[in-house]
């Protein structure tokens, strides 16, 4: 789900972050202690070779994913996806996951005003099926339950429906988009296939996914889609999860010039963050959620919102972020209230869709 997000204007030392946590604790907000173990997220850990991942050997790691990135890719998408699928078919043992992401451009005739012109497409493979995924990005974050965009609700929904319908038409898959005055929805027309929607905001899903048990069936539609709507050249991202290191090396041979980025969930203490950053330097970034609470306890009579406070760190220092599933106050009052709550200056910084 899209979230409202603010982050600290300044970069802090770890001791200063602990002072922010202490301030929240003094307000009665539950905050993880420095010696409490939990799962924190590591991303942007660029490596030249897979053995560099061993620098994180001091901590248990879950949901390991390696991302291969080609910044200026303009090759044959059918050949790329087919070669990856063939190797996946030969090597998969059950839990492996592979997907390839490629940017696409919303057609000019649609005259998009409320969404980003660049969107994302995936083809992916799991043990029992393949999937294709379409994601579009609103220019403004208006989360479920918020009323700020209601004056233009029809425009939001109509524009998003047009974007998704144009993409589905090129894919040629049995996906149906339905919309009216309230919200957009999607459904499938093929018994063997399944359609799911996700990443909702106030106007419906920003992402739809179509799965089909025969993995070969989606190769041609995907190649056609990238050929007709794909941005060229594009930043191509291939995601590999659950694969042994030897198998990852085989996949990397299919894209030998791609850069390698590692990410995953590390079980560690808050007090370990500096050591994790050092081990994953110079590029690694750690995100650790330290507190979750309802805003209603501080804003009596206002609509309640769910808040998450996290610490973000890299070699340059630490920042504090706070994410909310909706804004409980009018827009002009949010930053001031959050700053008074955390005790630090903040800036509104919504996360990107991609």
Per-domain residue ranges for the chain? Answer: 1-62+265-354, 75-232
**Rounded to 5 degrees, what are φ and ψ at 19?**
-70, -40
Residue bearing tokens 């630090």? 344
Q: Which residues contact 302 (CB under 8 A, 6 or more apart)?
A: 295, 296, 328, 329
Segments of the chain scoring below 70 in pLDDT: 1, 181, 353-354
- The answer to whether the bond into 233 is cis (omega within 30° of 0) is yes
pLDDT of residue 213: 94
Distance, in Å, from the CA atom of 91 to the CA atom of 70, rounded to the nearest integer, reads 23
Q: 60-79: b or e for each residue (b if 16 or more CB lie within 10 Å)?
A: ebeebbbbbbbeebeeebee
pLDDT of residue 145: 81
Closest CA to 209 of 168, 169, 178: 168
Pair of tokens at residue 253: 């041979």
Vertex 262 angle, CA 256 and 266, to 5°: 160
Cα separation values, 212 from 56, 82, 84, 201, 286, Å:
37, 16, 17, 26, 35
Report how far apart the first and last C-alpha atoms of the chain are (Å, whole number). Answer: 13
Q: pTM of the entire structure?
A: 0.92
Strands 234-241 and 97-105: antiparallel
């Amino acid at each position: 789900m899209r979230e409202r997000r603010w982050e600290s204007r300044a970069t802090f030392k770890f001791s200063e972050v602990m002072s922010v946590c202490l301030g929240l604790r003094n307000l009665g907000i539950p905050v993880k202690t420095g010696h409490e173990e939990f799962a924190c997220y590591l991303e942007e850990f660029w490596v030249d070779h897979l053995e560099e991942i061993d620098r994180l050997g001091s901590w248990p790691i879950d949901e390991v994913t390696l991302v291969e990135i080609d910044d200026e890719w303009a090759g044959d998408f059918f050949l790329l996806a087919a070669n990856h699928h063939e190797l996946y078919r030969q090597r998969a043992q059950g839990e492996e996951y592979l997907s390839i992401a490629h940017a696409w451009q919303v057609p000019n005739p649609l005259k998009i005003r409320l969404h980003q012109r660049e969107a994302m497409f995936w083809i992916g493979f799991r043990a029992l099926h393949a999937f294709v995924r379409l994601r579009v990005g609103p220019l403004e974050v208006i989360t479920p339950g918020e009323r700020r965009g209601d004056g233009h609700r029809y425009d939001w929904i109509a524009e998003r429906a047009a974007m998704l319908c144009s993409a589905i038409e090129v894919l040629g898959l049995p996906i149906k988009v339905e919309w009216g005055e309230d919200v957009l929805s999607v459904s499938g027309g093929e018994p063997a296939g399944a359609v799911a929607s996700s990443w909702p905001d106030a106007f419906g899903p920003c992402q739809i996914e179509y799965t089909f048990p025969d993995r070969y069936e989606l190769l041609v539609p995907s190649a056609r889609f990238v050929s007709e709507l794909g941005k060229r050249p594009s930043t191509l991202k291939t995601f590999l999860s659950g694969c042994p290191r030897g198998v990852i090396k085989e996949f990397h041979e299919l894209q030998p010039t791609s850069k390698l980025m590692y990410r995953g969930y590390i079980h560690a203490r808050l007090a370990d963050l500096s050591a994790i950053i050092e081990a994953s330097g110079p590029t690694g970034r750690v995100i650790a959620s330290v507190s979750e609470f309802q805003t209603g306890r501080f804003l009596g009579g206002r609509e309640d919102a769910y808040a998450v406070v996290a610490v973000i760190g890299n070699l340059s220092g630490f920042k504090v972020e706070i994410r909310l599933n909706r804004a409980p106050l009018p827009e002009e009052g949010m930053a001031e209230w959050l700053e008074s709550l955390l005790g630090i200056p903040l800036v509104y910084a919504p996360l990107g869709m991609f």
